[in-house]
Homo-oligomer: A and B are copies of this chain.
Amino acid sequence: DGATVDRGRKARCGFGEVIYGEGKPAELIVRVAEKLLELSPSVLVTRLAAEVFAEIQVPHWQMHYSPQARTLRIARTAEALAVVEESSSPLRPIAVVTAGSTDAAVAEEVAETLTWMRVPFRVLTDIGVAGPQRLLASLPALEGCAAAVVVAGMEGALPSVVAGHVPYPVIAVPTSVGYGASLGGITALLSMLTSCASNVSVVNIDAGFKGGYVAGLIACGQQVPPQSDGE
């Protein structure tokens, strides 16, 4: 009937399958999400157009849709949708950093993903390299994190510069912000891949979801989980 839900994903990978919303009809999303809600407290849908979201109405669901990130989080209770405060979590936070204010939509997808994973985070907006004192002013906020997700378009230089200041992994998310030689984000992507900083790995263009997910796993890994450590 149009989809084969990966029911074992949560057991194997720690988190359930995430629904890729692009090109899927509302009816299919509802059907798949119902199945996933049986296995997890909340479900994430990414790249979901506002028009498709408008067609989704399920009485017993709590939902949080972010028009900027184009993400939907679904749960059975409102609590399962709330943002996680740093103070109330055993996990170190993730730093979510953007180069320009136009990168905000992708950073929002990072934040929605981390919220779905129950991982706390700190947001640092618009501190790109053309105004270098802005990053210096942000250094205290970068301390004590488990990882940073750095979101940047155009020349994508910010992850390299942030990475030169921190002792943890930087997940670089290139964005399609820019024009001409930006090539829809390819330039930022290539630039981040060739970073002269050692602690930078990269995900797909505009892939706030993936950047957030990898960073969230790093944060989760630092809390030694009794159940999965039994080998």
**A contact residues vs B (CB 8 Å cutoff):** 2-4, 6, 8-9, 12-15, 17-18, 20, 22-24, 28, 32, 47, 99-102, 104, 125-134, 140, 143-144, 146-147, 154-157, 160-161, 163-169, 171, 174, 176-207, 209-211, 213-214, 217-218, 221-222, 224, 228-229, 231
Contact A102 B196, beta carbon cutoff 8 Å = no
Query: Assuming the A-B contacts A130-B164, A132-B161, are A3 and B125 also in contact, with contact meaning beta carbons closer than 8 angstroms in the complex?
Result: yes
Which chain B residues border A166 with CB–CB below 8 Å?
Answer: 12-13
Which chain B residues border A164 with CB–CB below 8 Å?
Answer: 9, 12-13, 129-132
Closest residue of chain B to A175 (Cβ to Cβ) is B180
Contact A180 B191, beta carbon cutoff 8 Å = no
Question: Measured between C-beta atoms, what is the minimum distance from A90 to chain B in Å?
Answer: 11
Contact B23 A129, beta carbon cutoff 8 Å = no
How many copies the complex holds: the figure is 8
Cα–Cα, bound, A28→B143 (Å): 29
Which chain B residues border A160 with CB–CB below 8 Å?
Answer: 129-130, 155, 157
Contact A194 B6, beta carbon cutoff 8 Å = no
